[in-house]
Structure 1
Amino acid sequence: MSSPSPTLSRRRLLGLSGASAAVLALGVNAPDVASADPLPHRENLFGLGVASGYPREDGAVLWTRLAPEPLAEDGHGGMPLRSAPVKWEVSETRDFRRIVKRGTALAQPELAHSVHPRVEGLKAATDYFYRFSVGPQKSPVGRFRTLPAAGAATERFTVGMISCQAWYHGHFAAHRHLAQEEDLDLTIFLGDYIYEYGITAANLWRQGAEVTPAHAVEIETLEQYRLRYALTKSDPHLQALHARAAAVAIWDDHEVQNDYVGAASSTGIPAELFAHRIAVAYRAFYENLPVDIDALPQGPESDILAGLEVGSLARITLMDTRQFRDAPPVDEADRVREDRTMLGAAQERWVTERLRTSQSRWNVLAGGVVLAPITDDRTDQWDGYPAARRRLLAEMRRAGNAVMLTGDIHKHVAAELRGEAAGLPAGPAGVELVTTSAASDGDGAKTDKYTPDWVQHDYVRHYDGRRGYLHLRFTPEQLTSSFWIVPWVESDDTAPKELSARFTTPAGTSRLIED
């Protein structure tokens, strides 16, 4: 949807992604490759676990990446630079006595030996189990649940929200607890799945952890991005969460560089060099997550927009609030300009259409940065794009039962979205639920120096600066949002979970009623 840099030819843009259509196709569905040379025997081929994503009523995307040495510094996970067939199976039972689908994908060095087969032809609203195999070696078992059939009456749907996984700042106790939730249909990763900063003695707060000097520099090459994903995904609790339920993921800034905007670096890296950095960062995102085929970039362009239809209960729209936004405002006159956009014109039209045509009970948007008005100087959030926010809130109000899901700020926040706070006629427009970080900024505290900025507004109903996750339960009658925290993340992964707050939003009210 974006335009390539004028200094780069289309041929060079395609070359930056480094993966042909044929390579991509084989990583999704390979023909019979029984004649392929077998790999030399390696233990722990599935060292980064398994995942599923982007469920539909008839299937989902499956993912694994062969990596017997996940932290190999060349970014290839200890794999030889040749392809390997990977078989996959989907079963109605965890013991795989009722296999309903199977196939083969080709793990290729061009895509870091990752595979992304999409399974189709399954039953709606049904639990399935999956696994991969290479020769006699089998992967861990994962689970996903297909979505209800289009328009089908649906009694409930549960979502877990995770954001901001600075591995070096703490242990993933939040993931451990979310993976153990009795009720979990989908996990939404709301950005900053990795961080690009160098890991040094100054910021390595995850006690008991060590890294090699290769991790000490800010990442900018494909090999370095692959290595940082491998470090993050080596965490057993993150692997368990991915195996527990299907996931969807959007990015914010740290998947590339802090506070980058569109095609522009926040630190003045020349456009042509930064285009290459974006290209390899987006490619590593595709290689390491259970995303659909559209997310494989062509140069510094990628499409992570997606929509999920949860029967008649919810329409979920995943937005990209980083790639298409206008540059930060240079002054107040620029900030309030009517044509400023956070989403870009094409994406804004798409989101508007999804809201206007929705017949679902709940209209759920997921984005990388906070929508609610907080302070005018927070220009990296929607506060820097007030005209675009008014347009979106008007559409959310029109659609009804609108919910915005965000992360980014390393705080739990619950806010009622009101027109009068954003320059619209008075009245409710929806609710916003912000999940805190999983580890970023270390242990945190319930209140901090930013608390006054947020709680000055009566529509901000909750604020908590500790780490954790958010669990949502949608029913036709109400949305229940449970804000869970863990008291510590720096010392170890044993922290218990504690309920910070729980709110009910009755359908038709756009209110947050604390339980």
Structure 2
Amino acid sequence: MDLSRRRLLGRAGAGAATLGLFTAGFSTAGAWAAPRFPDDPFRLGVASGDPHDDGFVLWTRLAPDPLAVDSRGGMPERTVPVQWQVATDERFRHVVRSGTARAVPELAHSVHPEVRGLRPGTEYFYRFRAGQAISQAGRARTAASPHGRGGDRLSMAFVSCQCWYEGYYTAYRHLADAGHDLIVHLGDYLYENGVGATAGVRGMPELDAQYRRETYTLAEYRNRYALTKLDTDLQAAHAAAAWALTWDDHEVENNWAGDWAQVDGDGFPDGDPAAFRARKAGAFQAYYEHQPLRLPQKPHGARARMYRRLTFGRVMDLHVLDSRSYRDDQVGGDGTKPGFDAERRAPGRQMLGAEQEAWLLRGAARSHATWNVLANQTLIAQVDQDPDPAVLSSGLDMWDGYVDARTRLLGGLYERGVRNTVVLTGDIHRSVVADLKLDFDDPSSPVVATEFAGTSVTSGKNGSASDQVGANWLAEGVNPHLKWHNAQRGYTTLHLSHDELRAEYHVTDYVTAPGSPVSTAAAFTVAPRRPGARQV
């Protein structure tokens, strides 16, 4: 892999090219005499995630042959010790923490060491070693302490929906050079669909036949992650900053809900919850094996607790949500369509589930941070998708299909006096800025929170600044709480301080070929305790 053009990796070295380089502080005795790999075992890169004020979790997976059909990555059925180091400098002259993790075949030889004892709000560098192979170096910053000085500003980005065969990950190349403190991924890291005969725009007809069909088994999900993570732009973005991730639907199957698969005629027994739980178990395990997640997020079969809270000084509490695992099934057979108004408004419908909903409202009310930020999957704002005022057309997979759950969420925030909520949303492959109102049908109803929905990294291919969907959504009088719309690909950055939150929408000209430039399509600010976005 040629990662030399990356700002960070170009200085720290990459993959097998670093053998014998930067070895100060590594023991060469005992376990380091074996194993010996036929190729670089760190071909899937390195990552860090979920930063706390004293550390973060690290990740890598040993896979000298990442696309091996048996999904073992070219590794034997043996446990392999993997040494890790954390240093204050890129050349690892000042190592402050180190240890050894066990890469076991049951987890596809992935490791997730949780590093503690670091200083708050501090930049660190990390790397791994297995045998004589040394990984590329990664960068991560610990969160600022909520009890100490400093940490008055935070720079972050959020992304979603990165269909590998529909585009190149140019957005990640730009993110890798930006020096953010945090990158948030809102879901659809993986797509379960077959990649097609030539892997779409990637042009790889030599891929094994398993990649051309939908994923169902643990082995198939593992190999699809390996294929995705071989992208060097994605690797560079992982190595450049700590990530906080949650899943949406395509990590398992399009528009799944709880224990229910989408009825799509793909040959899977959609009406059998037990069969779907088995599929979810494999998908969940593969997700954990390929992401920088802490031990509490390790799945137990078809169950996993993905929702969690990360604190960044007194500036931000990040509430990472899971709006798939606990929701009721979509009404009306899913999709976007008129009608089903009574069904989608039925009392008690769940999007987050009672436990997660209570956890979120309780945590937001108790927060002492300037900003409560929700890492959310599907659009919360009400959107009538038909410009005809006589027709109400709703997206039944979004919060529009769970009206009572939305009312409880926004009403609960309002009743508790929470006026600093900003929602980050993915899923819709377009960018939207919205005021979240207590009652969307009442123009005088108060604004409770601000929603920044971000576009996809690649899903939907190139896109455009405007399209018919956007024209319908922004038609006069249809959705007056929507402030802006764009249908290009890209990512969104946030700059948070005690004075304001600034969101900038960055878009690529194209994704169906590599090397697109990036530009800023729009910027918005939100003032503390004054919900609602203002374009600047």
- After TM superposition, the score normalised by the length of structure 2 is 0.87
Taking a change above 3 Å as real, the CA distance of residues 230 and 195 of structure 1, as seen in their structure-2 partners, is same
Displacement of 1:439 in angstroms is 0.6
**Structure 1 partner of 2:282:** 280
**Structure 2 partner of 1:29:** none
Displacement of 1:36 in angstroms is 8.9
Equivalent-residue separation in structure 2 for 1:438 and 1:152 (angstroms): 36
Q: How does 1:85-164 map to 2 (within 5 A)?
A: 85-153=81-149, 154-164=151-161
Work out the number of aligned pairs and report it: 482
Equivalent-residue separation in structure 2 for 1:446 and 1:200 (angstroms): 28
Displacement of 1:46 in angstroms is 0.2
For 1:407, the aligned partner's letter is G
Displacement of 1:203 in angstroms is 6.9
Displacement of 1:477 in angstroms is 0.5
**Structure 1 partner of 2:71:** 75
Equivalent-residue separation in structure 1 for 2:330 and 2:472 (angstroms): 21
Pick aligned residue for 1:305 from 307, 311, 323: 307
**Structure 2 partner of 1:409:** 428
Q: Secondary structure at the match of 1:252?
A: coil
Equivalent-residue separation in structure 2 for 1:195 and 1:163 (angstroms): 12
For 1:483, the aligned partner's letter is Y
**Structure 2 partner of 1:503:** 524
For 2:165, the aligned partner's letter is Y
Preserved contact between residue 229 and residue 235 of structure 2 (Cα < 8 Å): yes
Equivalent-residue separation in structure 2 for 1:145 and 1:209 (angstroms): 40
For 2:341, the aligned partner's letter is E
Equivalent-residue separation in structure 2 for 1:293 and 1:423 (angstroms): 45
Equivalent-residue separation in structure 1 for 2:442 and 2:104 (angstroms): 52
Preserved contact between residue 390 and residue 423 of structure 1 (Cα < 8 Å): no
**Structure 2 partner of 1:400:** 419
Preserved contact between residue 207 and residue 490 of structure 1 (Cα < 8 Å): no
Post-superposition CA distance 1:395-445 (Å, at most 9, x none): 333211110011000001111112231679711111101111001111111
Displacement of 1:208 in angstroms is 6.7
Preserved contact between residue 141 and residue 181 of structure 2 (Cα < 8 Å): yes
Q: How does 1:438-449 map to 2 (within 5 A)?
A: 438-449=457-468
Equivalent-residue separation in structure 1 for 2:521 and 2:204 (angstroms): 28
Equivalent-residue separation in structure 2 for 1:513 and 1:344 (angstroms): 32
Q: Secondary structure at the match of 1:281?
A: helix
Equivalent-residue separation in structure 2 for 1:162 and 1:322 (angstroms): 18
Taking a change above 3 Å as real, the CA distance of residues 422 and 401 of structure 1, as seen in their structure-2 partners, is farther
**Structure 1 partner of 2:510:** 488
Preserved contact between residue 374 and residue 453 of structure 1 (Cα < 8 Å): no
Preserved contact between residue 356 and residue 395 of structure 1 (Cα < 8 Å): no
Equivalent-residue separation in structure 1 for 2:207 and 2:466 (angstroms): 32
Q: Secondary structure at the match of 2:171?
A: helix
Equivalent-residue separation in structure 1 for 2:30 and 2:288 (angstroms): 27
For 1:344, the aligned partner's letter is G
Q: Does the alignment pair 1:178 with 2:187?
A: no
Post-superposition CA distance 1:33-63 (Å, at most 9, x none): 9459822333211000000000000000000
Equivalent-residue separation in structure 1 for 2:222 and 2:280 (angstroms): 13
Structure 1 gaps, min length 5 = 1-32
Pick aligned residue for 2:225 from 208, 224, 229: 229
Preserved contact between residue 358 and residue 399 of structure 1 (Cα < 8 Å): no
Pick aligned residue for 1:390 from 407, 423, 429: 407
Post-superposition CA distance 1:181-240 (Å, at most 9, x none): 14x010001000000001114871335776332200100010100011011111001000
Q: Does the alignment pair 1:464 with 2:486?
A: yes
For 2:93, the aligned partner's letter is R
More displaced 10-residue stretch of structure 1: 379-388 or 444-453: 444-453
Preserved contact between residue 69 and residue 208 of structure 2 (Cα < 8 Å): no
**Structure 2 partner of 1:254:** 250
Displacement of 1:71 in angstroms is 1.2
Post-superposition CA distance 1:442-498 (Å, at most 9, x none): 11112223113421322211111111000000010001100000010102x210001
Q: Does the alignment pair 1:335 with 2:328?
A: no
Taking a change above 3 Å as real, the CA distance of residues 291 and 423 of structure 1, as seen in their structure-2 partners, is farther
C-alpha RMSD of matched pairs (Å): 1.9
Q: Secondary structure at the match of 2:440?
A: helix
Equivalent-residue separation in structure 2 for 1:419 and 1:432 (angstroms): 13
Pick aligned residue for 2:533 from 507, 512, 515: 512
Q: Secondary structure at the match of 2:221?
A: helix
Taking a change above 3 Å as real, the CA distance of residues 210 and 396 of structure 1, as seen in their structure-2 partners, is farther
Taking a change above 3 Å as real, the CA distance of residues 186 and 294 of structure 1, as seen in their structure-2 partners, is same
Pick aligned residue for 1:64 from 60, 64, 75: 60
Post-superposition CA distance 1:123-180 (Å, at most 9, x none): 1010000000012211000010001112345321011111001000010011111111
Post-superposition CA distance 1:9-42 (Å, at most 9, x none): xxxxxxxxxxxxxxxxxxxxxxxx9459822333
Q: Secondary structure at the match of 2:147?
A: coil
- After TM superposition, the score normalised by the length of structure 1 is 0.90
Equivalent-residue separation in structure 2 for 1:252 and 1:351 (angstroms): 18
Equivalent-residue separation in structure 1 for 2:432 and 2:205 (angstroms): 30
Taking a change above 3 Å as real, the CA distance of residues 175 and 220 of structure 1, as seen in their structure-2 partners, is same
Q: Secondary structure at the match of 1:272?
A: helix
For 1:391, the aligned partner's letter is R
**Larger RCO (CA within 8 A; separation ≥ 6):** 1
Equivalent-residue separation in structure 2 for 1:317 and 1:129 (angstroms): 26
Q: Does the alignment pair 1:361 with 2:383?
A: no
Equivalent-residue separation in structure 2 for 1:50 and 1:89 (angstroms): 12
Equivalent-residue separation in structure 2 for 1:514 and 1:423 (angstroms): 23
Preserved contact between residue 386 and residue 422 of structure 1 (Cα < 8 Å): no
Equivalent-residue separation in structure 2 for 1:346 and 1:489 (angstroms): 40
Equivalent-residue separation in structure 2 for 1:379 and 1:37 (angstroms): 57
For 1:356, the aligned partner's letter is A
Pick aligned residue for 1:370 from 379, 394, 400: 379
For 2:181, the aligned partner's letter is D
Displacement of 1:249 in angstroms is 0.5
Taking a change above 3 Å as real, the CA distance of residues 477 and 210 of structure 1, as seen in their structure-2 partners, is farther
Displacement of 1:73 in angstroms is 1.5
Displacement of 1:285 in angstroms is 0.6
Preserved contact between residue 183 and residue 242 of structure 2 (Cα < 8 Å): yes
